[in-house]
Amino acid sequence: MKSKVSVIGAGHVGATTAQLILQAGIADVVLYDIAAGVPQGKALDMTEAAPLWNVSSLCTGTNNLADTAGSDVIVITAGLPRKPGMSRDDLLQANAKVIREVTSGTAGLSPGAIYIVVTNPMDVMTQIAWKVSGLSPRKVIGMGGVLDSARFRTFIAFALGVSSEDVEAVVLGGHGDLMVPLRRFTTVKGVPIDELLAPERIDALVQRTRNGGAEIVSLLKTGSAYYAPAASVFQMVRSILLDEKRVLPCAAHLEGEYGVTGLFLGVPAVLGKAGVEKVVELRLTEEESKAFNQSASSVRRLLEGMAQQ
């Protein structure tokens, strides 16, 4: 029996995610949105492309959450996008309402599903989805680290004139301005970037990574990134459905790892059919630990602020 993935939100990120899953032929896809006709039209268009992709998977568009029943993975992309001048945190209250509604509307229909949350601010939205779903924290995951690491890899490849495939990078912490790209664990074919780039050049690449989303928003002016976010989600979905057990940086629930308890934060994690099967705990330097704790405090403050409203 073919796996089933439901994508909540048929905007750019959601529709592109659905396309990548369908094109790979690893699951049937349900594309949900509140806008009448939009998910149906996009789903039909993708399904008509399936013969050209040599896959037999189907994409179904719907405005009814009941059609997501029995999903193996549920991806939540629904919510307001960032606009120029907005931080991810500016989206907090509006998107929290969306997350609560779609999670409560789908959790009972797919009790065995693993949730991947994309909606910003992602770390906080993942925490909300987990609480509303009632699922094990290992079955609720935030997409952020995969994207942040991909951006860091890209900028390093630009700087060195090498293939981004040969660059490996790890980014910890919240998916925001206080994310922590770990230069010590960033290599090009095994060679540490400290051996290849001057410290000030690496600092500039770290800062560009932190501003990666805002840079694209400022260029597009009427939208935000979606190709790279969708590709990041697809990598996570594939690792889960095919039980690949890839080590991917994502927002996982910490239970003492890195000295943090009860919070979803970006860390390397093994993703397989059970969701987060293991959090990989790295030995951080004092400076790295300080930066990670600052990022954790930022996410915690957002959660506390929401609780007071």
For residue 279, give the nearest of 262, 295, 256, 303 by alpha carbon: 256
**Cβ atoms within 10 Å, residue 24:** 16
Sheet strand arrangement including 187-188? 167-168, 187-188, 191-192
Among 35, 44, 86, 88, which residue's Cα sits nearest to residue 63?
35
Among candidate residues 151, 175, 210, 300, the one labeled active-site is: 175
Active site residue 175: yes
Residue 26, amino acid: I
CA distance 166 to 189: 5
C-alpha pair distances (Å), 160 with each of 95, 187, 199, 202, 213: 38, 12, 14, 11, 22
Q: What angle do CA 258, 295, 290 make, to 5 degrees?
A: 60
| Beta-carbon contacts of residue 247 (< 8 Å; ≥ 6 apart) | 268, 269, 270, 280
Longest pairwise C-alpha distance within the chain:
54
| Residues with catalytic function | 175
